[in-house]
Structure 1
């Protein structure tokens, strides 16, 4: 199954190749016939993992498209639509997308690392520096953690806002990736300060001055880091993407990382799909944050319990968990996750759906979704061909 799943995934990635970069889906849905920052970079990582020259060239085109359309203040477009030689830019919908900047920087550095060519980084250096400057401004209080608006990242219809764990970790990854090439003491110091603030504010029994001491003291911390906090307090759902990034980046003690691994493995094994839900547990209509969730959609409401961000299972998210398992030497568990990703992607004759209802296993969202295919490629090549992401 793993070979069939891999080759089907490669075929889909070829189907979303365009002269300007990777499209989000091969399905004829206008919003997905665009070059997206995060989708494009995740597909680009899969391209590097595959070694496929056409896919790697498309990754470079993706980076070029994003760089050429960077806003004067440093914002990377969330997506770019090309129509008859013209392009339409979006920097976000209900709010700007903070993670477009970090994914772009990560993408450039990963491409340069794969090519073993530092000149690639210098080609985009002004774009990278402008992006990092903007991230610095988005701290607002100059205390090292980004402040992210509701709807400000990939979970654009979910409840996370304020100091969102996922975005802090992406920033660390971007800084580490860039610093591999520039070797700056200032960047090393910044990475350390952001990491310290994550440990102080997102981990149990931590020492140091908290951003929100009263709210921190009220949290019942579990074996993972909560998804976000803000002046109104903590949101304590398990964020599978963020905690997978924490494992990849070795944030936290070995003991705490093992606790995350054990929690995630147990959660995945308890679901019918055998996959991690994006956020867990779901928000229900009797819960405190239901109205916040219900109103955070531009078009149709999709975040019913167990679906989309609200407890739905995404192959893409599980791809990063699978890669994290490989880096931790958990080969058997990573192999199991790859099998479950392939089983999900194979539904409806390998339709590579965006996500699945965790309770019923029914498909959700767009079919022929490129980053669902990327998940298979990343884990497969990490397991069987020793592909290494720069972290």
Structure 2
């Protein structure tokens, strides 16, 4: 890597640490805030995903803040094991991804602090809750629309993202039999025939495509591409190595094609494509205001997801491409809505022009930048390497 690029990345890493330390205490019970100014609340999923970046820093202030997040969540866990959507509010419930993210974060945090039984009772309750989220009792977990991080986009039934989280926590916690059964179910093809036979069960593999379906349920599915879910499928080892290599090549070719069509600015990777457009069957009236093509969940560029994609590139050994994408991400996260900021670490960027559209100094944008940089530097993916083996 050229000296000027190394200096650029080092500057961004220092800025990311500054963001995390700034956000480490907020106005709600001194819990971390989700963004520097716009989101003072401690949103569970954002803060749990940030455990990866915090692990990369080894900063004691941030580690203590994560301990407080996890312990508070265990106190606000429902009697049946569900984890709330806001760390401090036990009544804010209904998310499909908070409980599996809690299990992942605890497993990683146990390794960081060398306490193998940290929050053992809460973990056991959460595992039982997740066992009951499979309506068919065949390992795949189902969800309600808008119940995962895509709170403005419909993901009904067996969503890819949530099931990659389930596989990841099962592997991290050593529940290998269940993990393998789940992976086998995901490798089943989505059902495309007009009539489904009772002995045929849907999965998330897509015929003649290297990636996994966005979601699937009975005879319905979406074969649009979800960058977050597929990046986690690579990182966790759900995707066989040959599929993972083919998938990353396919992503880059599709992005080049989108750039030529004017749907994507050079150097960016959208979280979702092809974009849902007005008049299509997947379009909902509310998308008019919140989810235009290339925006928010409908193809916006999210730095925290780009961090997972860069880590996935490292996982398949595409080190030069991972380095280039890290540089692209570094240039992106410098952009901000507040002109006085040297680094914006914005929530999300418009795909067509890279304009920052969300909140600046977003915790998971900064944390996953640090995790991606760590992966590129070390040519490894901490915590995921061992579960892929």
Same fold (TM over 0.5): yes
- How far the C-alpha of 1:159 sits from its partner, in A, is 2.1
Provide the residue aligned with 2:271 in structure 1: 278
Provide the residue aligned with 1:158 in structure 2: 153
| 1:288 to 1:276, Cα distance in 2 relative to 1, 3 A | same
Any unmatched runs of 5+ in structure 2?
1-7, 193-197, 337-341
- How far the C-alpha of 1:37 sits from its partner, in A, is 2.0
Provide the residue aligned with 2:15 in structure 1: 8
Q: Say whether the 8 Å CA contact 2:52–2:368 is kept in structure 1.
A: no
SS at 1:350 equivalent: coil
CA distance in 2 between partners of 1:41 and 1:225 (Å): 24
Q: Say whether the 8 Å CA contact 1:248–1:327 is kept in structure 2.
A: yes
Q: TM-score, normalised by structure 2?
A: 0.86
Instruction: Provide, for residues 24-47 of structure 1, a one-character-per-residue CA deviation record: whole Å limited to 9, x for no partner.
Output: 1011x3xx2122222112222101
Let me know the Cα RMSD of the aligned residues.
Answer: 2.4
Q: Does 1:211 align with 2:212?
A: no
* Structure that is richer in helix per residue: 1
Provide the residue aligned with 1:373 in structure 2: 366
Q: Say whether the 8 Å CA contact 1:20–1:35 is kept in structure 2.
A: no
Provide the residue aligned with 1:173 in structure 2: 168
SS at 1:35 equivalent: coil
Q: How does 1:141-156 map to 2 (within 5 A)?
A: 141-156=136-151
SS at 1:229 equivalent: strand
- How far the C-alpha of 1:275 sits from its partner, in A, is 2.5
- How far the C-alpha of 1:49 sits from its partner, in A, is 0.6
| 1:68 to 1:365, Cα distance in 2 relative to 1, 3 A | same
Q: Say whether the 8 Å CA contact 1:283–1:310 is kept in structure 2.
A: yes
| 1:229 to 1:289, Cα distance in 2 relative to 1, 3 A | same
SS at 1:22 equivalent: coil
Q: Does 1:88 align with 2:89?
A: yes
Provide the residue aligned with 1:388 in structure 2: 382
- Number of corresponding residues: 358
* Structure that is richer in strand per residue: 1
Q: How does 1:1-391 map to 2 (within 5 A)?
A: 1-18=8-25, 20-27=30-37, 29=38, 32-80=39-87, 87-92=88-93, 96-118=94-116, 122-179=117-174, 187-201=175-189, 210-212=200-202, 221-231=208-218, 233-269=220-256, 270=259, 271-291=264-284, 294-295=285-286, 301-348=289-336, 349-385=342-378, 388-390=382-384, 391=387
- How far the C-alpha of 1:266 sits from its partner, in A, is 2.6
Q: Say whether the 8 Å CA contact 2:190–2:221 is kept in structure 1.
A: no
Any unmatched runs of 5+ in structure 1?
81-86, 180-186
